Structure 1
Amino acid sequence: MTTVDLNSDLGEGFGRWTLGDDDALLEVVTSANVACGYHASDASIMRRVCDAAVPRGVAIGAQVGYRDLPGFGRRFVDVEPQALTDDVIYQVGALDGFARVAGSRVRYVKPHGALYNAIVHHEEQAAAVVAAVVAYDPALPVLGLPGSAWLRLAAEAGLTCVPEAFADRAYTPEGTLVDRRRPGAVLHDAGVVAQRCVDLATTGRITDVEGGEITVEAASICVHGDTPGAVDLARRVRDALAGAGVALAPFAGDAPSA
């Protein structure tokens, strides 16, 4: 039986500001990419999400990003490599503290937003993020875009690399994500998204933004938690995968299958 992980970005509020329904999504996904305070989140939110994830058997991942609260981490920052390494270590350590208090630990690392996209090609920044994971815990798997500099350098450093695909994002013919500023970059039709995820899990083939077919390797599929109707969309995806005979389970750690 084919097995795939279903992940989502959680804990992306800040103070009194709430974004997404973390509790509802934790009933659907198998891995939670938890914001670590740089692009979103704060100490109380991190603790609440970790406390809610552990009893549900959801693996906790550190979603690290640029120090960019106003821009939600979706703006490129030309930060020095050593500073970026230190920023990533800081973020992973902060979330790991709350994960341990909740009875678990951080089980993987996934970059967020502009950092995620930058290190597809930005060798220097990709190396800086790899250095942070190696320094903090080289046993931590890393999640990223197949074919990225980030995963290549992580593999060369001996890290476990987990390729992921995006349920609700359009792809270029080259296999990268379409810029969010372009029309059609985010997909909203739940039926289309659900079938796309079944295709990803069972055939590894999807349609790109120009109508061609591309191969996308994915051990984990991301459903964004901040898009309108995210919870219903995630449920549709999960139900479609189950209906196609695809098992859902975390790719990292000893969290039980959901």
Structure 2
Amino acid sequence: AAGSGPMTFSEPDSPGVTEGNAADTLVARYNDVDHVRELVGANEGEVACIIVEPIAGNMGCIPPRDGFLEGLRDLCDAEDIVLIFDEVMTGFRVAAGGAQERYGVTPDLTTLGKIIGGGLPVGAYGGKREIMDYVSPVGPVYQAGTLSGNPLAMRAGYAVLKKIYDEQDRLYDELEAYSRTLEEGTQENLADAGIQAQTTRVGAMSSLFFTDEPVTDYDSAQTCDTGRYADYFHAMLEEGVYLPPSQFEAMFFGHAHGEAELEKTLAAQRTALEQVAK
């Protein structure tokens, strides 16, 4: 229940939400399946669905703990609750089949964003037939949009997804190797600069958290030194590397980034962290 930018300034991430909508929403702690069970138990028969980023991205890249997603799946099965994965960030970034493929947990519904349009504006959702059959024209739920099926976005998305389908083994192996080298280099740079910080990564997502505590949820993310991250962001910008401007925004990279970009990023980072450490 947080947005990456608004978290930086500790502001509500959804002004204008009515009391009625808020009353219909329960906010559970990420990576804490026991807390989710408590909320479901306290509202027995009233919980329609559980919506979760399988890998948190809107408070920085925070991977799920072992058993968290599996626990949600078991709970939803036991209580007849729809499990929805928000894969707007994780879809095609952490595996060809998204986080659900990487962790082996299948939701009932999945949402996806502009990555399926090659970066152009598009969104999509899909899931089990018994749920999707409620959507018009088969079912009574009408859903449409001005940009739905936009030809340009569809053509760009088809080109991107076809490339992923045709080359997925090579693409994801190379992305994994790139991300591993970037993380290891970042950890070396932090050690050389004498800075206590946390690195996280899954596939083509990662974060650098300026805190000495492991970051596993919203509360631990809030221990980050956002001022220090701002100094780091501007120092990297001076070196020609544009990072996410918020401490709580995950960093993405793609197959267009190669050895030259990796070396430049780590060299720039060494300089930036030396400045931050002063």
TM-score bracket for this pair, using the shorter chain length: under 0.3
The two structures have a TM-score, normalised by structure 1, of 0.27
Say which structure is richer in helix: 2
Say which structure is richer in strand: 1
The two structures have a TM-score, normalised by structure 2, of 0.26
Q: Kindly indicate whether structure 1 or structure 2 has the higher relative contact order, using CA contacts under 8 Å at least 6 residues apart.
A: 1
Name the larger-Rg structure: 2
